[in-house]
Structure 1
Amino acid sequence: MVEQSAFVLHSRPYRDNQLLVDLLTEQDGKVSALVYVGQSKRSIKKGLLQPFLPLKVSLKNLSALKKISQIESSAKSLVLQQDHLYSAFYINELLIKLLTDGINCQVLFNHYGETLVKLAQKQAIAPVLRQFELALLDELGLSFDFSPVFEQEAIAFSYIPEQGFVAIYQYHQSFNSPQANYFDKQHLQQIAEQISTNELQGNDAVERTFKRLMRHVIAQLLGNKPLNSRKLFLSSR
């Protein structure tokens, strides 16, 4: 058993006063682990097993699942409110659904902690989320090749998994649909420059295109299954 830093992504009742907890850990990546919390509503462990609280945990291997043998907080819980809180739930849901269990992803773990701090500081949400989404795609072995956007004389591009950006040469009415898989050439060029300089904040139109692009790519990875965390944003409007 090795003590390591961790965050709770999600927890749910299991059986016999146990919880099944999804963790993002510094050394083991995403793991599911059991923990006995007892019957008391004031259980110390229950109080610790909350999202956005930096933890130190020790995990013990069982047959199919791990078990949390020791747990303690390593810092104060990060205070998140309204859309910044919903954004944190959003990145938790992405990690749960897209990461493979048991694979070390220390760079992404560090980025996750930094993202929570930025959200707690109430920094602008869009660039913070775009930075995290790019870090997650990088962990999954995906990256954007923007070279066609600069090399081809097209008015727009669609993005197709396994192919990348595909040139569109004629205007179509569906360009104006928020769900359309068409992206303005100049916007994509600006997004490429933002990524290369790590300055992910531009004008509103470019920001909206960047958001649509990331949503399209992530939807493909999720098999177009809806994200529950997005409902939180809608309910707050």
Structure 2
Amino acid sequence: MSETRRGGSDRGFLLHAEPWRETSLLVDAWTRAHGRLWLVAKGAKRPHSALRSVLLPFQPLHLRWSGKGERLTLTGAEWLGGMPLLSGEALWCGYYLNELILRLAPREVPHPEWFGAYETAVRALASGEPVAPVLRAFEWASLQATGHAPQWPETGPVAVPLSAEAYAAITQGAWSAPIVAREVKPWLRALIDHCLEGRPLRTRAFMKEWVTNGKG
């Protein structure tokens, strides 16, 4: 039985892109209503391709696609504008957000609230807000979206303690509170590590090395 041809369009972001054959890119996109999509951007590596200047990370896009199976063809992309490019520490933090989605989100499962949390986080990083509260908020949103966010007094399958005061900071969205750095950050990281079954996140190692080398 042949696969049904399908198409669609949605607001989205580029999570990752890699070369595909001689002139194309294989794009992992994060969309509001369709979740993660695997899209082939045909000819995107050519110098005069309309897609070449549009497919940038951390920029809101309107994407169109069609095709059969899991790997679809990107038929159009428009930059929606309104967001500065990330740089420095904010850029590394953006890559961390992307890696969390790539590692935790299955393909083609809609997560509109998680998508909204991602766009909010990217906008906050682009506007120069302190990065730590932005990362903690997105880590919590990621755990909620994937069904791994425990309800206090349960602390989940990790041995890291969490006080009532710390959980209150989470539920109130008080990500800048001092207790977040002391208690919430190690707890969230332990939960994420458990979800990843101990497989390390490359962006964490890069960020640590970047700061250690005095470039943060």
With the shorter chain as reference, the TM-score category is 0.7 to 0.9
Q: Deviations over 1:59-78 (max 9, x none)?
A: 11223311111111111453
Matching residue within 215, 226, 229 for 2:203? 229
The one-letter amino acid of 2:118's match is Y
**Deviation at residue 228 of structure 1 after TM alignment:** 1.2
- 3-state SS of the aligned residue for 1:44? coil
Following superposition of structure 1 onto structure 2, how do residues 175-186 of structure 1 map, counting pairs within 5 Å? 181-183=159-161
Task: Determine if contact 1:190/1:206 at 8 Å carries over to the other structure.
Answer: no
Gaps of 5+ in 1: 149-158, 165-180
Shift of 1:51: 0.6
Q: For 2:95, which of 89, 92, 99 is the aligned residue?
A: 89
Deviation at 1:232, TM superposition (A): 2.6
Q: Which residue of 2 aligns with 1:111?
A: 117
SS at match of 1:52: coil
Secondary structure of the equivalent of 2:174?
A: coil
CA displacement at 1:46 relative to structure 2: 1.9
Q: What is the match of residue 220 of structure 1? A: 194
Alpha-carbon shift at residue 230 of structure 1 (Å): 1.5
**Distance in structure 2 (CA, Å) of the matches to 1:44 and 1:89:** 24
Specify the structure having the higher radius of gyration (Cα).
1
Aligned Cα root-mean-square deviation (Å): 1.9
Q: Which runs of 5+ in 2 are unaligned?
A: 1-6, 212-216
Go from structure 1 to structure 2 and tell me whether the alpha carbon gap of 1:72 and 1:108 turns closer, same or farther (over 3 Å shift): same
TM-score by length of 2: 0.87
CA contact (8 A) 1:57 1:68 kept: yes
CA-CA distance at 1:101 after TM superposition? 0.4
Does residue 191 (structure 1) correspond to residue 166 (structure 2)? The answer is: yes
> Identity across aligned pairs (percent)?
24
Normalised TM-score (structure 1): 0.80
1:117/1:94 CA distance change after superposition, 3 Å: same
Tell me which residue corresponds to 1:146.
152
8 Å CA contact 2:13, 2:58 repeated in 1: yes
Alignment partners' CA distance in 2, 1:134 and 1:128 = 10
Aligned residues: 205
Aligned pairs for 1:1-237 (under 5 A) are 1-37=7-43, 40-147=46-153, 159-161=155-157, 181-183=159-161, 188-203=163-178, 206-237=180-211
CA distance in 2, matches of 1:199, 1:111: 15
Residue number in structure 1 paired with 2:3: none
Q: Residues of 2 paired with 1:22 and 1:38: CA distance?
A: 14
SS in 1 for 2:51: helix
Deviations 1:148-188 (CA, angstroms, capped at 9, x unpaired): 5xxxxxxxxxx552xx7xxxxxxxxxxxxxxxx443x5xx2
Contact 1:78-1:116 at 8 Å conserved across structures: no
Q: Give the Å deviation of 1:231.
A: 2.7
